[in-house]
Copies of this chain bind each other. A is one copy, B any other.
Amino acid sequence: MTVLVVGSVALDSVETPFGKAEDVLGGSGTFFSASASHFAPVQLVGVVGSDYPVDKLAPLRQRGVDLAGLEKADGESFRWRGRYRHDLNSAETLETRLGVFSHFRPKIPEQFRTAPFVFLANIDPRLQLDVLNQVEKPKLVACDTMNFWIESRRSDLLALLDRVDLITLNDGEARQLTEETNLVKAARWIMKRGPRHVIIKKGEHGAFMFTERSVFFAPAYPLEHVFDPTGAGDSFAGGFMGYLARTGRIDDDNMRRAVVYGSAMGSFAVERFSIERLLEIGTSEIRQRLTEFRRLVAFEEELPD
């Protein structure tokens, strides 16, 4: 089955303790697509400026990412410049230039409107709602968000919650949105407002998936070399949604597996700049990492007598 993603397609300039990259492929839609395309056909909706090196997206197209929804607008592309210090846990944003992204109004191409899996990456909740008005009864809709929208578009975000099946957000955002410190309570608060599933991402500390009846936890893979954390969350979402789209099932067991695939894809994304590593890996690497994930948490229950 196909997965539709609406998000940013940007140019990133990143500095980490290990190197520098200038104007490389970035944005939530880009990372998501590169990751999800390992599992299922992807339909990408976004906007780029006249300066965007569209030819560099060719590897995505070759992997099955349909770029028919990628609008080319007059003006500059969305650019983000950031830096990671020694601990790699949080990016310091040095500059954000929205460019054509500031006037982005997603137009979902006719042939994308029946996509069974829809991911609304981190954009204005009003646009996320607008996308939902253009699609037809998807099997599962998931959204992401961020602190900026929680603060400035709270009521739109609450309206969105009522219309999605799943939300991914990080622990700080979950606390900010719900005003609950405890993540179990935060997840419950969110589920009351609509989504049946809440995925709380904790970066290097892994991710929780809460549903009404169960909690699932997947650690982040303990990498010895984290090169550039940019895009880890969107690559997680891409692996998660891609796996669901590939299998077409949204039962609890399959959603759990999807979280692990998401974690695996997030762990690949951070091994190189941009989507480099995501384009490089194949099924055998993914398979191998899944096995390592299983080993990481595997224990045999054997109760004391």
Q: Residue on B with the closest CB to A253?
A: B300
When all copies of this chain in the complex are counted, the total is 2
A121 neighbours in B (Cβ, 8 Å)? none
Asked if A219 contacts B216 (CB within 8 A), the reply is: no
Asked if A184 contacts B223 (CB within 8 A), the reply is: yes
Quick one: CB contact mask for A202-233 with B, threshold 8 Å, 1 for yes?
A: 10011010000011111100111110000000
A94 neighbours in B (Cβ, 8 Å)? none
Known A246-B304, A247-B304, A304-B247; contact A184-B299, beta-carbon cutoff 8 A: no
Number of interface residues, chain A, beta carbon within 8 A = 47
A298 neighbours in B (Cβ, 8 Å)? 216, 256
Asked if B39 contacts A181 (CB within 8 A), the reply is: no
A295 vs B283: C-alpha distance in the bound complex, in angstroms?
A: 27
Q: Residue on B with the closest CB to A17?
A: B181
Known: A185-B224, A257-B302, A291-B301. 11 other contacts (CB 8 A): A88-B181, A182-B226, A184-B223, A216-B297, A216-B299, A217-B222, A217-B296, A217-B297, A218-B297, A256-B299, A290-B301
30 contacts between A and B (CB under 8 A): A86-B181, A182-B223, A182-B224, A182-B226, A183-B222, A184-B224, A185-B224, A202-B205, A205-B205, A206-B219, A208-B222, A216-B296, A216-B297, A217-B219, A217-B222, A217-B296, A217-B297, A218-B297, A218-B299, A219-B219, A246-B304, A253-B300, A256-B298, A256-B299, A257-B299, A257-B300, A257-B302, A259-B299, A291-B301, A294-B299
